Amino acid sequence: MPCPREVSTLLTPNQPLKLRPSRLQNWFCLSLLLSILCVATPICAEKTRSLSDSLHAATNRHLRSGRSTEALATLRRYMASVDVDARDHVWVGKTFTKLGDLKKALAAYKRAVKGGKGAEGYNGIGLVYLASGKNPRRAEVNFKKALKRDRTFADAQYNIGRLYLKHRPRKAREVFEKVLELDSSHLDTHYQLGLLFEAEGRPLPAAESYKKQLLLDPAHGQAALRLAKVYALQDDRRASASLLIELAKSGEVPDAYRELALLRMENREFESAQKLFDRYIDTLPDSEQLKWRDIGLVATRQERDDFERASVDALELMGRYWRTKDPAPLTKANERLLEHYRRVSYARVQYPRGEDSWDKRGEIYIRFGAPDHISSWENINNERERHVQDARVAFANRSKVGLRISPGQPMFPVPATAKWEYWIYADLEGGIEITFVKEFNQQEYEFARLPLGISPSLGVEIAKLQSGVLVEAISARKPTLYSPDFADLPIDFYYYPAGFRGTEKRTRLEIYYGLPAAEISRLSVDKVTDLILLDRGVVLYDSKWNEVYRVSDQLAFSAPSDKQVEEGAFIPGILPVDLAPGTYKMALQVRDVVSKKSQVYQQLIELEDYSNGDVLRISDIELAFSISDARSEGDFTKNGLNVIPMSSRSFKNDQSAFVYFEIYNLTPDAFEQTRYQVEYTLRSHRKRSAPGRILHGLGRAIRIAEKDQEIVISYEQVGEKPEEVAYVELDLSATKTGGQLVRVAVTDLVSGKTASKEITFKIVP
C-alpha cells in the first residue's frame, strides 16, 4: 500500500542501508497509516456513491427513452463498480425484468431475499413468473410469501389482484379493495377497480373509481379515457367529449383520438371524425395500420385479386380502394371508411382475440355490421320483432332438414356443453342465422361445426347451413353490407347515365338527373322571387381505383309555381364529362341547400369505345321529355337540338316521350352518300297491353308490324355524313301503366353491318 512505502522512505532515506525497525518505529508507521486511511475512506466512499447514483440514474433514463442496449450496458457497469446490497438487488431485478432478461431478474430477486429484503424479493420473483406467462401459480405463491414477510406490503396484494383479473375478476376486486385498505393511494388500484366495475356492468362505481384515480394522479390518461367512455355510455356526451378533447390535445393517449372520433360520428360530424381517426391510425405501427384499413373482409374476389397483383404499396392501394367506396362526393369525409373504422373498433373491444384482433363474431360484424337479433347461452333473447321472426322462418324453410325453431335457441345443432351465440340478419339473403360456439377447450368463439354422429345423407344438408360454409357462399356474392345513413333527411331524385362519342378518341359520359319539385324547399329572396338551391357532386374512379374525375358545384333555379308542383314538375340536370373508354365506378350526390335533404347513388358504368371508324356503332339511348331546335347553346344542347332528359324514365300516358340516339361510322357509297335502315321495336311488359306508338320519325317508313304487346316500325334514310343523329317521338296515349321497352337496330345498307341498343321506361298513373 502507498502509506507503508512512504513511511519506509522517510525512515530509510539511504536505500542501501538496512535497519531493523524498532517497536516504536512499527507503532509510528501503523498510527500514520491508520490516520491516512481514516481520511481517505470517506472520500473514496463518497466517490463510489456518486458513481453508483450516476449509473443508476443513467440506466433509468435509458429505459424511459426505450434505449434497451444502452440501459443494459449501463446496468452492467453499475453492478461491476459497486458492492450491491439487498436493496440494490431489488432494483437490479426490476431493471432486468423491464429489459426482458427474466433469468437474471430472478437471480437478482433471490439475492435480495438472501440479503434480507424478503417481501420485496419474493414480490419480484412473483413478477418474473407473471411476466413469463407460463406459471401463474408460482407467481401467486411468491406474492403470498411476500405478504407473510410483511402483511402491510400493498404491492404484493396488488399483484395478486392483477393475477386474478382475467379468470377470477370478482376475487380480483376483493383483493384490490384490500390494497386500498393498506394504502388508499396505491399505484393505479382505483383504475383497476374501475375496469372491474365496468366488466360487471356497473358504470356508476366504475366512474367513481376513475375519478378517485384522477384525483390522485391527474396525468393518468387511461383513467381519463375510461371515464370518458363511461360518460358516453351514460349519454353524457358533453362530459365525455370534454375529457377526450383534453386528452387529444395532450397527445399522450392516442386512443383518445379514436374515442373522440366515435363521438363525432354519433353527432354526424364526419369530417372531424375522419381527421381524428386518421390521426389515431397514424400513431400505430404499419402492421396495425394495415389491420384498420384491410379490405380482406369487404372486397369482392375480383377486387382482392386485383389487390394481390398490384405492385403498389399495400397502404397506398388500400387508400385508393377506400376512396372508391366514398359515397358522398360533396363531403371531405369518407363515410364508408368511417363506418369500417367504427366496426373494427367495436370488434376489437367486444369480440377480442388477443390484444389487437377479433374472433369470428368480430369478422362477421366487420362484414355485415350489427345483426338484427342476438341470443346467447347467458342471455337468451326471444325474437319479438315480426321481421326477425319472418326471416328466421324463411331461413328454416330454405333448408331440407326441417330445422326446429325455438325462440331464443339456435337452430343449428350445438354441443350440450358449449357456450353458444347466434345472430340473425333479416335482410341478408332473405334472412340468415349465424351460429357461434366456444367449447370448454377453446379460448374464443368459432363458427359452429357439423355435429358428430349424423347420418351421411342428413350431414350433407346440414353442412350447407354450417355458418362457415354459409358465410363463405354469401360473401362470394355480397362480401359486405353497408347502407349510407349519413343524410338525416333523404331526398328522392332520379338519374341514369348514357354514353356518346366524345373528343380525341374519348367517350362522352352524360349523367342525367332530376328532382321532383315537390321534394325541394324554396329560398325566399324577396316578396316575388323564390329560388331553389342545389349542391351537386360526382366522382368517378377507374378500374385501378384511381380517381379520374370529381366535380361539385351549386346551382340556382327559379322555383316552379304551385300549379307546376301539383302537375309533377321536376328540375332536370346533366353532368357531362369526356373519359377514356372502360369501366368506372360513379358516386352521385345531390343536396337541397335549404332543407339539407341529401341523397347519394353509386353505380358501375361501362363506357363503350366509339373511336374505331371501321365498326358501326350506336350511342346509348337518351329518353327525353322534349326535343326541339336549339336557338342558342345551353346545358342540354347537342347537334343543334335542345334535348331535355327524362331522368326518371317515367311518363304519364298523356305525355309524349322522345327517343334520342347517335349513329357512328356509316359507310358512304360510290356517290359519297350513306344509306341505312333504322328499326324501332316497342314492347309492353304487361300482357294484353298495347305499347307506345311512334308519332313520327326521321326518314321513310318502309315496314310496320303489330302484335298483341309489340310494334315494329322501320325507316330508311339517306345521309351525307358517317355520323347521324336520330330521334323519334312516342305516343303513349293508348298505353297502360307498367314497363315498356324500346329497341333500336341500325343496318348499314352499304356495308351490311348492324348495331343495336335498347332502354326501358315506365308508364305511371
| Three-state SS at 117 | coil
165 in a structural domain: no
Alpha-carbon distance 580 to 757, whole Å? 21
Same domain, 443 and 515: no
708 in a structural domain: yes
Q: Which pLDDT value is given to residue 228? A: 96
Q: Which pLDDT value is given to residue 457? A: 67
256 in a structural domain: no
199 in a structural domain: no
Same domain, 616 and 757: yes
Same domain, 589 and 619: no
Alpha-carbon distance 456 to 325, whole Å? 44
CB-CB contact of 408 with 423 (8 Å): no
C-alpha cell at 555: 346551382
Beta bridge partners of 481: none
Same domain, 358 and 403: yes
Same domain, 684 and 540: no
Same domain, 616 and 756: yes
Same domain, 502 and 633: no
527 in a structural domain: yes
Alpha-carbon distance 565 to 353, whole Å? 57
Q: Which pLDDT value is given to residue 532? A: 83
CB atoms within 10 A of CB 553: 10
CB-CB contact of 374 with 368 (8 Å): no
Look up the pTM and report it: 0.76
Q: Which pLDDT value is given to residue 598? A: 86
C-alpha count within 13 angstroms, C-beta hemisphere, residue 44: 8
Cβ burial of 334 (10 Å; 0-12, 13-18, 19+) is buried
Among candidate residues 334, 369, 349, 383, the one with its CA nearest the CA of residue 233 = 349
Alpha-carbon distance 407 to 255, whole Å? 40
C-alpha cell at 688: 294484353
CB-CB contact of 515 with 591 (8 Å): no
C-alpha cell at 55: 449509473
C-alpha cell at 507: 367517350
140 in a structural domain: no
| Three-state SS at 66 | coil
Alpha-carbon distance 751 to 302, whole Å? 39
Among candidate residues 319, 311, 264, the one with its CA nearest the CA of residue 293 = 319
Q: Which pLDDT value is given to residue 696? A: 58
Same domain, 448 and 379: yes
Alpha-carbon distance 148 to 315, whole Å? 55
Residue-wise over 624-663: b if at least 16 C-beta within 10 A, else e? bbebeeeeeeeebebeebbbbbbbbbbbebebbbbbbbbb
Sequence-distant (≥ 6) Cβ neighbours of residue 738 within 8 angstroms: 684, 685, 686, 689, 762, 763
C-alpha cell at 132: 413469463
Residue in the structure block whose three cell numbers are 340516339? 661
Residue in the structure block whose three cell numbers are 390494497? 179
Same domain, 618 and 743: yes
User: DSSP class of residue 13?
Assistant: S
C-alpha count within 13 angstroms, C-beta hemisphere, residue 515: 27
Rounded (10°) angle between helices 68-81 and 23-64 = 170
C-alpha cell at 634: 345551353
Q: DSSP letters along 372-390, please?
A: SEEEETTB-----SHHHHH
User: DSSP class of residue 412?
Assistant: S
Instruction: Map 532-565 to HEC letters.
Output: EEEEEEEEEECCCCCEEEEEEEEEEEECCCHHHH
Alpha-carbon distance 678 to 675, whole Å? 10
C-alpha cell at 378: 347467458
Sequence-distant (≥ 6) Cβ neighbours of residue 478 within 8 angstroms: 428, 429
Alpha-carbon distance 65 to 44, whole Å? 32
CB-CB contact of 188 with 215 (8 Å): no
| Three-state SS at 718 | strand
Which stretches of the chain score pLDDT less than 70?
1-53, 55-56, 59, 62-63, 80-84, 453, 455-457, 486-489, 525-528, 687-701
CATH number of the domain where residue 666 is located:
2.60.40.2550
Q: End-to-end distance of the chain based on CA atoms, in angstroms? A: 119
Q: How many structural domains are present in the chain?
A: 4
Structural domain ending residue among the three candidates 50, 71, 86: 50
Q: Which pLDDT value is given to residue 732? A: 86
Characterise 543 by phi-psi region: left (phi > 0), alpha (psi -120 to 50), beta (else).
alpha
Degrees (nearest 5) of the Cα angle 590, 324, 542? Answer: 105
Structural domain ending residue among the three candidates 556, 587, 608: 608
CATH number of the domain where residue 573 is located:
2.60.40.10
Angstrom CA distances, 498 to 240, 535, 604, 613, 620, stand at 50, 22, 12, 20, 5
What count of residues does the chain have? Answer: 765
CB-CB contact of 496 with 573 (8 Å): no
- Which residue segment(s) compose the domain that 27 sits in? 2-50
The CA radius of gyration of the chain, in Å to the nearest whole number, is 40
Among candidate residues 745, 747, 743, the one with its CA nearest the CA of residue 675 = 747
654 in a structural domain: yes
Same domain, 616 and 530: no
Residue in the structure block whose three cell numbers are 343543334? 640
70 in a structural domain: no
Same domain, 470 and 494: no
Same domain, 722 and 762: yes
Alpha-carbon distance 131 to 696, whole Å? 88
Residue-wise over 715-726: b if at least 16 C-beta within 10 A, else e? bebebeeebbbb
Alpha-carbon distance 710 to 681, whole Å? 7
Degrees (nearest 5) of the Cα angle 596, 602, 605? Answer: 140
| Three-state SS at 739 | strand
Phi first, then psi: give them for residue 202, nearest 5 degrees.
Answer: -120, 80
CB-CB contact of 199 with 349 (8 Å): no
Structural domain ending residue among the three candidates 442, 477, 512: 477
C-alpha cell at 370: 350489427
